[in-house]
Amino acid sequence: MLQTLQTPGDTRWFVHDRFGMFIHWGLYALPARHEWVKQREEIPDEVYDRYFKRFDPDLYDPNLWAAAAAGAGMKYFVVTTKHHEGFCLWDSRLTDYKATNTPYGRDVLRPMVDAFRARNLRVGFYHSLIDWHHPHFVIDDVHPLRNHPDRAKLNEQRDQRKYAEYLRGQVRELLTEFGRIDVLWCDFSYRSRPGFVGKGRDDWQSETLYQMIRELQPHIILNDRLDLDEGWDIKTPEQFQPRAWVTFNGQPVVWEACQTFSGSWGYHRDESSWKSIDQLVQMLIDTVSKGGNLLLNVGPTGRGEFDERALDRLSGMGEWMKRHSRSIYGCTQAPPEFKAPADCRLTYNPTTHRMYVHVFAWPYIHLHLDGFAGRVESVSYTHLTLP
């Protein structure tokens, strides 16, 4: 097995489990046209507020979500406690902008954590560094108010240090009030450069935030978006499949591809680019064949459901996993002497010494297994019919 860069968090379970569910849920599920809708359409707070006033997911049942994730073979989940819009799913003491103050009137995060734990899934929190609602978050070139005629004047009232303190306070709540958290996914940094005003480690006070995170949950797996050179545990390629095992300064690292069913993370009713079950299964295999994990996203609706397209993909993947999960769990990239035949991927379990040849397109008569001669004790053939 490739030796990956040593990092502080506990990644042992992670590289075994391989497959997790990302959940993007917030007020943006109501307009249902991408989680960046407030930014893209430059919607001011007064107007965006209509979604806060109508957030009432009457069909929300986190047991159904957890069942769908477990059924697909997922072993952990990562949910947006707060996305860039600033809306909080839990009953934070530090803001009024939270689920408990909507018509729904309840914390939606805690029952979700309980439901997923009850099915033995590990718990991860995505927490947005960006906040387009907080009064002290300085308006930059990505903010919904970036083109506001009084931007400079508005910024005079804002103190980014106060925001950084709020951010820390909220992360402290999340890491102290929900028991053991396995993954923390902070999103994201976009440093200033000539002609562009962004935000990075100084704006988040990343060093101080980092110290606190490790103090509260030393084992936690932290992603790589705090704009820190070290301290992170995983690299997180987004919306694309790396061509090989992900490296940092030339050394292989623990990594996780995050992917959507369609293109948007938040619920997007009209997107037509949904991936097929075949594509998704192949994406999972491809990831593991390069030593990575797959975090596959669902954007639940404003009423609190996974829509039928998501459920269809999840159950299709579950059908495949039922028979083939042993080629995913505990598996990784094959040793280099084994070459994947054309249109195939190899996954390998170093404990059982089993090699899995995943045939994406069946060849004409022969499958040439380069590097296998003399190394094979027995072969079993599983028909890879996709549902």
Binding site for ligand GLC (CB under 6 A): 24, 35-36, 187-188, 238, 258, 265
Distance CA 88, CA 331 (A): 36
Both tokens of 347, joined, read: 């996954």
Cβ 382 to ligand GLC shortest distance, Å: 33
Residue 69: CA count within 13 A, CB half-sphere: 34
Distance CA 183, CA 232 (A): 11
Nearer CB in complex with ligand GLC: 35/286: 35
Query: Reading across the β-sheet that carries 19-23, which strands appear in turn?
Result: 221-222, 183-187, 122-128, 76-82, 19-23, 293-298, 256-260
Cβ 188 to ligand GLC shortest distance, Å: 5
Cβ 34 to ligand GLC shortest distance, Å: 8
Q: Phi/psi zone of residue 270: left (φ > 0), alpha (ψ -120 to 50 degrees), beta?
A: alpha
User: How large is the C-alpha radius of gyration of the chain?
Assistant: 22
Cβ 273 to ligand GLC shortest distance, Å: 16
Cβ 351 to ligand GLC shortest distance, Å: 31
Nearer CB in complex with ligand GLC: 108/186: 186
Query: Measured between alpha carbons, how far apart are the two ends of the chain, in Å?
Result: 32
| Nearest by Cα to 230 from 217, 248, 216 | 248
Distance CA 107, CA 100 (A): 5
Nearer CB in complex with ligand GLC: 205/297: 297
Q: Coil, helix or strand for 326? A: helix
Nearer CB in complex with ligand GLC: 240/381: 240
Distance CA 95, CA 93 (A): 6
Nearer CB in complex with ligand GLC: 188/261: 188
Tell me if 334 sits within 8 A of 289, measured CB to CB.
yes
Cβ 36 to ligand GLC shortest distance, Å: 6
Nearer CB in complex with ligand GLC: 258/296: 258
Quote the Cα angle for 303-117-276, to 5°: 55
Cβ 185 to ligand GLC shortest distance, Å: 8
Nearer CB in complex with ligand GLC: 38/313: 38
Distance CA 355, CA 370 (A): 13
Quote the Cα angle for 252-255-257, to 5°: 135
Nearer CB in complex with ligand GLC: 25/166: 25
315: amino acid identity, one letter: S
Cβ 369 to ligand GLC shortest distance, Å: 37
Nearer CB in complex with ligand GLC: 10/238: 238
DSSP bridge pairs for 190: 199
Nearer CB in complex with ligand GLC: 17/187: 187
Cβ 5 to ligand GLC shortest distance, Å: 21
Cβ 234 to ligand GLC shortest distance, Å: 12
Tell me if 256 sits within 8 A of 236, measured CB to CB.
yes
Tell me if 226 sits within 8 A of 210, measured CB to CB.
yes
